[in-house]
A and B are shown apart, each in its own frame.
Chain A
Amino acid sequence: MLNRKIGLLCTSVAGVVLLSACGQSGDSEAASEATSDAGTTVLANGMTVAEQIKLRHDALEAIGDALKGAGDQLKSGSPDMAVIQAAAASVVEKSTGMEDWFPEGTGPDSGVETDALAVIWEDKPDFLTKVSDMQGAAAKFSEAAQGGDAAAIGGAMKELGGTCKACHDKYRKDDD
């Protein structure tokens, strides 16, 4: 009886895993096919397209990491201000130069896997405004972190998150 139960459980788990693999295989196949010859074009800043995309992806992920780290502290009953201050400083540092991360030719047509949408280059001034909004909010967040008041930090972080979202909603591929 138990064996049968475990067997069924395994089968269903395997089924779910398999299904999820199916769902994603399309994307990664297309991406690996594309990266084999695409992305080697050298940009004006000396980086290849692939390098530029990887650089901004890693930096944005590091920002996400830092924000989550700060958020986790705020969620816990006794936030560690030193951790939050370090995270906030890291957000400021990692977002420096963001306005230069999206040169022409690093969009979805480059053949390199990216969630950046082509509309970025259709409305670059608006995109850049949103980038500088984010950088401004990051500076305020870091300032609040230095102040050490959890409520103020939470508020500044919400503001900052809003600037992330504003840009993501419009310019990032929605995988939801």
Chain B
Amino acid sequence: MATNPEHHVVWDWTVRLVHWLMVILVLLLWWTAEEGMMDWHKRCGLTMLGLVIFRIIWGFSGSWTARFVPMFRRLGSLGGYVRDLKNGSHKPVFGHGPLGILSVFALLGALSVQVGTGLFSVDVDGLESGPLAIWVSFSTGRDIADIHELNFDILSTLISLHVVAILVYQFILKDNLIPPMVTGKRPRSDFAASSLPSIKAGFWAFVLSAGIAAGCVYSVLNAV
């Protein structure tokens, strides 16, 4: 993929695929919940569960820009980064910028809470319930369902913030973040650094990570 020397790969294909699948699934989950299509809501929710688990594992097994530990390390540059934003001297960052890193953790955290509570939620009629709700009482399941609803507000606020931020970068800071999340690539000239890490999804890392995520979903399905 990185054969063109004028472009450098920023996001490996799994990061991009998972990102856009999550976008589609959040919309589908919202819609199926609004319409009361609980069978589809559960199917989509389990798919989302798999994606979230995969993405968290990929944060340790994936390519450099996908990994959490380097992200944690780069959080230290948050102060200088924000100062540059205010001074109007913003420069594109290879991978997530410090603010983007906060966004990644917040979004993944909220998504985890959302799929986690969904597993145990019980509806008010005591009929529909998450796949693991058999392990909790009706009233506990109702309380968890309340958190499920409340956390959706947190999640949708975070998503709105994320979208607004992307638009601000696009139109005000002239930092074009959307095409790289589709194609994975960015012009090499966008980055000042003389050497950039090579971004590639390891085949066996992917097989193993996806296998674990699928295994988790499978065991949820067969837990009862």
> Is the A/B pair a real complex?
yes
Majority DSSP secondary structure for residues of A touching B: helix
Contact A64 B126 (CB under 8 A): yes
Chain A residues near B33 (CB-CB < 8 A): 176
Contact A64 B224 (CB under 8 A): no
Whether, in the assembled complex, A45 has its beta carbon less than 8 Å from a beta carbon of chain B, the answer is no
Interface residues of B in 101-150 (CB under 8 A from A): 105-106, 109-110, 113, 122, 124-127, 129, 133-134, 137-139, 141-142, 146-147, 149-150
CA distance A61 to B125 in the complex (A): 9
Q: A16-B113, A68-B141, A158-B127 are in contact. Are A8 and B122 (CB under 8 A)?
A: no
Whether, in the assembled complex, B212 has its beta carbon less than 8 Å from a beta carbon of chain A, the answer is no
Whether, in the assembled complex, A168 has its beta carbon less than 8 Å from a beta carbon of chain B, the answer is yes
Whether, in the assembled complex, B151 has its beta carbon less than 8 Å from a beta carbon of chain A, the answer is yes
Contact B134 A164 (CB under 8 A): no
Contact A164 B146 (CB under 8 A): no
Q: A19-B154, A175-B146 are in contact. Are A64 and B138 (CB under 8 A)?
A: yes
Chain A residues near B122 (CB-CB < 8 A): 64, 68
Smallest CB-CB separation from B125: which chain A residue?
Answer: A164
**Within the complex, what minimum Cβ distance (angstroms) separates A154 from chain B?**
10
Interface residues of A in 149-176 (CB under 8 A from B): 157-158, 161, 164-165, 168, 172, 175-176
CA distance A68 to B224 in the complex (A): 14
**6 A-B pairs, CB-CB below 8 angstroms?**
A16-B110, A67-B138, A72-B133, A72-B134, A72-B224, A75-B224
* Interface positions of B (Cβ within 8 A of A): 33, 69, 72, 105-106, 109-110, 113, 122, 124-127, 129, 133-134, 137-139, 141-142, 146-147, 149-151, 153-154, 224
9 A-B pairs closest in CB distance: A67-B126, A161-B127, A64-B126, A164-B125, A65-B138, A68-B126, A72-B134, A68-B138, A64-B138
